Chain A
């Protein structure tokens, strides 16, 4: 398996623009997680899905952030409008059971 796939790997955008991050989990994994990592705050769980249903989105910072999982092989994290403080590395992870999570390579987002 190719592992968790994320795209793009790098994204540079201007404040106010919409940003969409994409994730393809490992086939057969029922859980999908979105994380954000910054130097100041470390890793933070934003939201996770089980069987394509959002279970806990309490980590989503504000209404500008939204996540969807239309099917078992695809998820998106959208930021609209983006702000400079959203600059971070965003990771997607998946797992078959609530145990070891497999992380993707991350998307480095820079909002100017």
Chain B
């Protein structure tokens, strides 16, 4: 069983709308949790990184939250744009270089 579960698997929203992606993990203990954005045909790009003691981190229209007690994280995208269409990958690190990857959520933003 994957130690990092993401939901939904895919999501379609209209441009301008908000959305929230979920990441549940069983990895424990962990040092940090990251969200990556991966455009089609490109490598992942880091959006946010949070340690277990942080519970929110923003990067422009992207806001990640973390509840270490319930082992849940979410990535909220505000006022979506067509360029937000991508896969979003949650990565939980046991230590700095032992990482567990979620399968990703495929987001499509339509005009």
A interface with B by C-beta (< 8 Å):
4, 31, 33, 42-45, 48, 55-56, 91, 93, 98-106
Contacts and interface: CB of A to CB of B under 8 A. Distances in A.
Contacts of B49: 99-100
Contact of B101 (A42, A99, A105, A106): A42
Contacts of B46: 100-102
29 contacts: A4-B43, A33-B97, A42-B89, A42-B101, A42-B102, A42-B103, A42-B104, A43-B44, A43-B101, A45-B99, A45-B101, A48-B97, A55-B97, A56-B97, A56-B98, A91-B43, A91-B44, A98-B96, A98-B97, A99-B96, A100-B34, A100-B46, A101-B46, A104-B43, A105-B42, A105-B43, A106-B41, A106-B42, A106-B43
Interface string B19-51: 000000000000000100000011111100100
Main secondary structure of the interface of A (DSSP, over half): strand
B45 A103 contact: yes
Contacts of A105: 41-43
A33 B103 CA distance: 19
Nearest to B100: A45
Interface of B: 34, 41-46, 49, 89, 91, 96-99, 101-104
A56 to B, nearest CB: 7
B97 A103 contact: no
Contacts of B99: 45
B102 A103 contact: no
Contacts of B34: 100
